[in-house]
């Protein structure tokens, strides 16, 4: 049973590379609670108020530029803080080489930052990184990252190999997770 629980946990995490140029960073991220994702979605929809969208807007509601133009500066700030909060909840570790990960606890305020205790303010990250992390965490949390598929692969391999070979299946899930994150 323990191997199955590890597979569930591994399927709920992945590694992503952010940034470009000479100093890319890798982050280990995890799924966030469905209720947090739903809360963000409801707040964004309420702020953008798609019911008031012009009649010539896309049928799919993808006229994001027009919706964003209806947001007040305060609402944009609130959405940005929600985005940062999702990053704080979803980031587990950081690496400069993609191999050895150090634990990382992102926090919302500079006052709570303590580098000696692996706590960094989310606003201290390089420009664009929060947006990349946010997109990856949402993708993983809504299963567009294929965590259910990775878990099913593990379970199928574990059933055919028997309980003694469950370690082999765990390695395959980890390998598939790394491949999916590239």
Regarding predicted confidence, which is higher, 153 or 117? 117
Per-residue pLDDT at 41: 66
- Residues 16-38: what's their mean pLDDT? 82
* CA dihedral sign of residues 24, 91, 143, 147: positive
Residue 53 has pLDDT above 90, yes or no: no
* Number of independent structural domains in the chain: 1
| Angle, CA 174 vertex, CA 102 and CA 83 arms, to 5° | 55
Distances (CA, A) of 141 to 16, 97, 160, 176: 14, 25, 28, 17
The answer to whether 17 touches 182, Cβ cutoff 8 Å, is yes
pLDDT at 140: 83
- Find the helix or strand (DSSP H, E) in which 171 lies: helix 166-181
The answer to whether residue 181 sits within a structural domain is no
Position of tokens 């702020």?
47
Asked whether residue 7 is assigned to any structural domain, the reply reads no
> Tell me, what's the pLDDT at 14?
87
Highest mean pLDDT among 17-21, 114-118, 171-175: 114-118
163 found inside a domain: no
Residue that wins the pLDDT comparison between 156 and 52: 156
Examine residue 104 and state whether it is found in any structural domain, yes or no. yes
Average pLDDT over residues 52-75: 63
Percent of the chain at pLDDT > 70 equals 54
Domain around 110 = 15-146
Q: Taking the complete model, does pTM exceed 0.75, yes or no? A: no
Closest residue by Cα to residue 57 from 72, 47, 67, 44: 67
114/171 Cα distance (integer angstroms): 34
For residue 156, is it within any domain? Answer: no
- Please tell me the least confidently modeled range out of 29-33, 48-52, 148-152, 173-177: 173-177
pLDDT average, residue stretch 89-99: 92
Predicted local confidence at residue 51, as pLDDT: 55
């Amino acid at each position: 049973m323990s191997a199955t629980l590890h597979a569930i946990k591994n399927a709920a995490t992945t590694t992503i590379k952010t940034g470009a140029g000479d100093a890319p960073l890798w982050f280990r991220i995890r799924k966030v609670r469905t209720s947090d994702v739903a809360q963000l979605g409801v707040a964004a929809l309420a702020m953008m108020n798609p019911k008031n969208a012009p009649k010539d807007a896309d049928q799919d509601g993808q006229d994001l530029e027009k919706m964003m133009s209806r947001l007040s500066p305060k609402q944009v700030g609130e959405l940005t803080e929600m985005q940062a909060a999702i990053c704080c909840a979803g980031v587990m570790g950081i690496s400069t080489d993609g191999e050895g990960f150090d634990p990382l606890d992102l926090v919302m305020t500079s006052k709570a930052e303590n580098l000696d205790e692996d706590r960094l303010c989310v606003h201290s990250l390089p420009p664009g990184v929060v947006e990349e992390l946010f997109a990856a965490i949402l993708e993983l949390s809504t299963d567009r990252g294929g965590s259910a598929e990775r878990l099913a692969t593990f379970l199928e391999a574990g059933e055919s190999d028997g309980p003694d070979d469950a370690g082999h299946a765990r390695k395959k899930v980890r390998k598939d997770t790394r491949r999916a994150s590239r």
